Amino acid sequence: MKSENCIYRGFACPQEPFSEEFLEILATEYSLALCHVFIERFRNKLSHSHSELIAFIEDSFESITTFDSVWNLAFGKLKHALLTGNNSDYIHAAVTLGLHLQYCGRLGAWKAELQPSTRLRWGHWLLPMADRLVVEGQKQKVMIQLTHADRTNQITFVQCDGKWEGEGVEVLPQTCKGLKHLTLLLPNTLTDTIFDDLRPDFGDNVSVKESLILCESAGELLRSHSEAYFLWVERVIHSIVPLKMENGIILNSSIETRPGIVGISLPLTVLALVETLIHEAAHQHFYLLSRLGAVEDGTDTTLYYSPIKRQERPIRYILIAYHAFANVVLFYRICRENNFSESEACYQREATLFPQLIQLETALQTSRSLTPLGNSLWEPLAERIHCGDVVTV
């Protein structure tokens, strides 16, 4: 039961060979195409007051060359704006992309007006509220002038040894070990509409210190028990939006227009956070491979019962669930094999998930609508799920 397209199998689970070169091509070519579509769609609307910004973005296309440079909210905002068509969304998207391209090293000068006013980011810094900004990038130096309600802030970033340094600007909280530079995005950083779906679930009174310690501990647990799953998470997740718990249920969220950003209920136990990170990393890998084409051809209108959601679901969502939870089971199996101190908890969680996966797998075997891309996301997992020390229920 092997997929014909072996290069896709690395997106199923970290035990499969993974091509970083293919990832880079897939991500950068998609992002470049997205930039072209965005510019052509909104050129007339933006050219009146943002012609310098449009010219800067177009001159910067050649710098879109690495996965790390494009796996960023700036490119997610482009797609979000294309989907909504709202005036504020496409202006904010263009400005966010302009700032990100200069953070990545492009030189140039431009200005922009923002309505409504918002707080933008420069890497892991949160800029002051602004409705107007003027940006000038020189070699290893960028000056940003931000104006809000007739009050102006001038911020300068200087690049030293390949890293930006800034003074007088708020630094976003980041981990220092484990999953290094994992950023916490708190409600005051999420002012634009791309986060509207998460807004009702924002965590209340989140302890930044405790959350960072928790994330660092999760990273350390991942690295010490499975380097493969550590890299699986580190590759695609760079920011967490802390969410609240809902009646004791862990909330989690990934969507295609927020690459690298996941919403997770905090605080959790370290092991529960690790599971959720693996789960969300699976979704991020799913969205990445989906950029290449459809995972199902649309011919299967049957709804299949999902024991995860306890409701009938289209085959696409059955595939998404299987892909995420099968990776969780494989991780717990690795922990048990390595005599992890919480092996009993791993066993119990696997015992819960394994029969649910079998039910999902039956739907995937039944459907004839999955494409080679879709099959490559579950077949390698099924091969492994049924091998080794399988939990008996």
- Is-contact 378 326, C-beta < 8 A? yes
C-alpha dihedral sign at 372, 321, 386, 369? negative
pLDDT in single tens digits along all 393 residues of the chain = 444 468 999 999 999 999 999 999 999 999 999 999 999 999 999 988 899 999 999 999 888 899 999 999 999 999 999 999 888 899 999 999 999 999 999 999 999 999 889 999 999 999 999 999 999 998 899 999 999 998 999 999 999 998 999 988 999 999 999 998 999 999 888 988 999 999 999 988 889 999 999 999 999 999 999 999 999 999 999 999 999 998 888 999 999 999 999 999 999 999 999 999 999 999 999 999 999 999 999 999 999 999 999 999 999 999 999 999 999 999 999 999 988 888 899 999 999 999 999 999 999 999 999 999 999 999 999 999 998 655 544
Side chain identity at residue 39, one-letter code? I
Q: What DSSP assignment string belongs to 316-367?
A: HHHHHHHHHHHHHHHHHHHHHHTT-TTHHHHHHHHHHHHHHHHHHHHHHHH-
Q: Which helix (H) or strand (E) holds 148?
A: strand 141-148
Please return the burial class of 52, using the count of CB atoms within 10 Å of its CB with bins 0-12, 13-18 and 19+: middle
Q: What DSSP assignment string belongs to 90-130?
A: HHHHHHHHHHHHHHTT--EEEEEEEEEEEEEEETTEEEEEE
Q: Provide the 3-class DSSP secondary structure of residue 6.
A: helix
In a 13 Å sphere around the CA of 162, the CA atoms on its Cβ side amount to 0
pTM of the model: 0.95
Side chain identity at residue 36, one-letter code? H
Q: Which residue has the tokens 């710098």?
A: 63
CA–CA separation, 180 and 228 (whole Å)? 16
